Amino acid sequence: MSDATDLWSYLAQEPLLWLTLTLVTYVGADALATTVRHPLANPVLVSVIAIGAVLLATGVPYARYFEGAQFVHFMLGPATVALALPLYANVARLRKALLPMLAALVAGSLTAILSALGIARALGVRGETLLSLAPKSATAPVALGVSEQIGGLPSLTAVLVILTGIIGAVISTPMLNALRFTDWRARGFAVGIAAHGIGTAHAFRVHSTAGAFAGIGMGLNAMLTAVLAPLIVTLFF
C-alpha cells in the first residue's frame, strides 16, 4: 500500500502523468464526439470536466497539472500561425465575400460586447466583474490585455473567454440548423467572431470552409474588440 502511495506521489509531481492524462482524455472525448454526435459531446467540454474532476478528487493543484499540460498548450501558437493556410486556400471565396464579412464583423462584435454588458448589468453585476465580461468573445491573449486596460480582472476574463468558446461550440450547430442558415461561410465566420478559437476548432470539425472563415472571424474580431471594448465601456458603462 505504501509502495502505491510512493508511486503516486512521485508520478503526481512529474509532467509525464498530466501530459498523458490530457492526451488520453482528449482521444476518448474525440471518439465520444464522433460516435454520439450530440452538441454536448464537445471534446473540449468533456475533456475539461473529466480532467477537472480528476484534479479535484486527487487534490492536485492546477499549476502542477499545467506543468505537464503546457506542452500541449504551447502548440496553440504554431496552430494559430497555421491558420494562414486555410485562409490562403480560400482566398478567392474571401475576395467574393468581403462586404458580407465586414457587415457580419461589425454586427457580431458590437452585439457580443453590448449584450454581455447589458444583460449582466441588468442582472445586478457591477464593477470590475462587469468590466471583465466586455472582451469575452475575443481570443484569450487579446481579451486579457483589453480586460486589464479597461479595469477588469484578467484572471476572471480568462475563465469567461474559455466558457464563451465552449458555449459557442455547443450551441452554434443546433441553433444555426434550427434557424436554417446553410451558408458555411456565414456560419463559420459568425462562430469565429462570437466564440474565438474554441468555436473555430468546432467549425473545422463540422466543415472545412466553415473552419477557414471561422479563423478569419476570430482574427478580425480580436482586432475590433481591442478597439471597441474600451470605447463602449467609456461611453456607456
Partner 1 sequence: MIRALAILLLFQLAGETVARGTGLPLPGPVLGLAALFGLLFLRPSLRDRLEATATTLLGHLSLLFVPAGVGVIAHLDTFGRDGPALAAALVVSTALAIVAAVAAFAAVARLTGAQADE
- Applying the rule CB under 8 A, the residues between 29 and 58 that interact with partner 1 are 30, 42-44, 47-48, 51-52, 55-56
Nearer to partner 1, 6 or 14 (CB): 14
Instruction: Give the DSSP per-residue string, 193-226.
Output: HHHHHHHHHHHHHH-HHHHHHHHHHHHHHHHHHH
Contacting partner 1 (CB under 8 A), which of 133, 206, 210, 228? 133
Surface-to-core class of residue 98, CB atoms within 10 Å of its CB (0-12 exposed, 13-18 middle, 19+ buried) = exposed
Residues 96-115 that bind partner 1 (CB under 8 A): 96-97, 99-112, 115
Footprint on residues 61-80 left by partner 1 (CB under 8 A):
61-63, 65-66, 69-70, 72-73, 75-80
Residue from 27, 31, 81, 76 nearest 51 by CA: 27
**Does residue 174 interact with partner 1 by CB under 8 A?**
no
CB 202 within 8 A of CB 172: yes
Residue 178 sits in the site that holds partner 1 (CB under 8 A) = no
Chain centre distance of CA 1: 42
Q: Which one of 1, 57, 81, 235 is in contact with partner 1 (CB under 8 A)?
A: 81
> Is 152 one of the binding residues for partner 1 (CB under 8 A)?
no
Q: Which of 40, 129, 177, 231 binds partner 1 (CB under 8 A)?
A: 129
Instruction: Give 124's DSSP letter.
Output: T
CB of 234 to partner 1, least distance (A): 16
Compare residues 7 and 161 and give the one whose CB is closer to partner 1.
161
Q: Residues of 53-92 as b/e, b for ≥16 C-beta within 10 angstroms?
A: eeeeeeeeeeebbeebbeeeeeeeeeebeebeebeeebee
By CB under 8 A, residue 147 contacts partner 1: no
Q: Which residues contact 97 (CB under 8 A, 6 or more apart)?
A: 185, 213
CB of 13 to partner 1, least distance (A): 18
Say whether residue 224 binds partner 1 (CB under 8 A). Answer: no
160 belongs to the binding site for partner 1 (CB under 8 A): yes
Nearer to partner 1 (CB atom), residue 17 or residue 171: 171
User: Which is closer to partner 1, CB of 13 or CB of 54?
Assistant: 54
Three-state SS for 54?
A: helix
* Residue whose C-alpha is closest to residue 137's, from 39, 229, 28, 64: 229
Vertex 68: Cα angle to 63 and 70 (nearest 5) = 80
Residue among 1 and 66 whose Cβ is closer to partner 1? 66
Judged by CB under 8 A, the residue of 222, 224, 228, 233 near partner 1 is 222
